[in-house]
Amino acid sequence: MDKSTIRREMRAQRRAMSPHETRAAALRLLRLAQRHRLLHFRRIGFYLPMGEEIDLIPLLNAALWLKRACYLPVIPKRGARRMWFSRIGARNAWYQNRFGIFEHAARERRRARQLDVLFMPLVAFDAHGNRLGMGGGYYDTSLAYLRTRRVFRKPKLIGVAYDFQRVATLPNEPWDVPLDAVLTDRALYRFRKEN
């Protein structure tokens, strides 16, 4: 299947879920993350779920409760593709970017390479750690440096999805940056040996 077909089918499956199913999945995801010690990192990148994406808010709240430095992506202005990640704080002013995604104005901003782990949204993933996103290319551009790194690979890239978003294989482009793992509501899939 081509990417647009996969995106359409996966999004339809996510929309078909009831509110009860989505809440239960978010709590299972949190328990799995805790069991696998995914919140032991110091600087953690998150995202705010949009539409039918799996709810990452319980995981984000748990990290904040543990006093981790938590960051959210900031989409650059038109033209630029590399994202910044701003630290969540008590006095941040929130606003909506041009895509309708909530961001916050924070003094402390970092590039992806300064984070320890980054939880990333996805539409589908395969057994090789390939990720299909929404097609904007912001994560791939921001993480392009990882394609040439063999050691000191930071951040660890963890996709977040419902378990049914796993497919046999995805089309792979030269600019795609593979994931280290995917955390779903049912399992943690690891794709490459941890450094």
Q: What is the pLDDT of residues 128-165, one digit of tens each?
A: 999 999 878 889 999 998 987 766 678 999 999 999 99
Phi and psi angles of residue 107, each rounded to the nearest 5 degrees, phi first: -70, -40
118-129 average pLDDT score: 96
Q: Taking 60 as the threshold, does the pLDDT of residue 194 lie above it?
A: no
Q: Looking at residue 150, what is its pLDDT?
A: 65
How does DSSP classify residue 166?
A: B
Q: Looking at residue 76, what is its pLDDT?
A: 78
Give dist(CA 102, CA 92) in Å, integer.
12
Q: Taking 70 as the threshold, does the pLDDT of residue 79 lie above it?
A: no
Q: Please name each of the domains of the chain with its CATH number.
A: 3-190 (3.40.50.10420)
Q: Looking at residue 151, what is its pLDDT?
A: 65
pLDDT tens for 173-188 read: 888 889 999 999 999 9
114-134 average pLDDT score: 95
Would you state the structure tokens that stand for residue 146, as one six-digit string?
Answer: 């990882």
Give the global pTM: 0.91
Lowest mean pLDDT across 14-18, 89-93, 117-121: 89-93
pLDDT tens for 21-74 read: 999 999 999 999 999 999 999 999 999 998 899 999 999 999 999 999 999 999
Q: What one-character-per-residue DSSP string does 103-165 give?
A: EEE-S-EE-GGG-SEEEEE-SEE-TTS-EE--S--HHHHHTGGGGG-SSS--SEEEEE--GGG
Q: Taking 70 as the threshold, does the pLDDT of residue 15 lie above it?
A: yes
Q: Taking 80 as the threshold, does the pLDDT of residue 110 lie above it?
A: yes
Q: Of 38, 84, 80, which is closest to residue 62 (Cα–Cα)?
A: 38
